[in-house]
Amino acid sequence: MASKHRHTELAATHRKSPTVTARKKGTRRTSSMIGRITSEIVEIREGQKRIKEGQKEVRGKLKEIRKESKKLKDETELITKQSAANQLRLDLMFQILKARAENDSAKDAHLTQTLRFVAPNLYTLYICLTVYTYKYQCHA
């Protein structure tokens, strides 16, 4: 009976052996999967970091574009105002010339004073225009 008992003991040892091996394989697989997952997590974090940096760069460029757009809008508005002011000055100059052509000295004086007030720097342009007009009228 001792040998029979011994035989069952050996059989039990052999049965335990595959279970231990299977556990080791399972542990290796788990470790391997954990390693792969960990490396994937690292890659994902790096990708997210690159995306975040890209978004920051895009935000910076958009901020610059908005700033430049505002600057261009302000410049355009200024040019529009200057253009309107120039048109007003030109209208006054031509009204002055018309008043002079009609020998209306009161209207001429009033418009000339208005032009001096509206455009002190362009008054010299007006004088040049007047001189040119008189020369043109004298030769006509």
CA distance 93 to 111: 8
Range of the domain at 103: 2-139
Residues 6+ apart with CB under 8 A from 92: 111, 114, 115, 118, 119
Q: In this prediction, what percent of the chain has a pLDDT beyond 90?
A: 34
- Provide the pLDDT confidence category of residue 40 given band limits of 50, 70 and 90: very high
> Which position has the higher pLDDT, 120 or 110?
110
Q: How many whole angstroms separate alpha carbon 37 and alpha carbon 31?
A: 10
- What does the DSSP assignment read for 99-126? HHHTT-HHHHHHHHHHHHHH-TTTHHHH
At 140, is the pLDDT very low, low, confident or very high (cuts 50, 70, 90)?
A: very low
What's the predicted TM-score (pTM) here? 0.49
113 within 8 A of 96, measured Cβ to Cβ: no
Q: How many domains does the chain have?
A: 1
Higher-pLDDT residue of 91, 24: 91
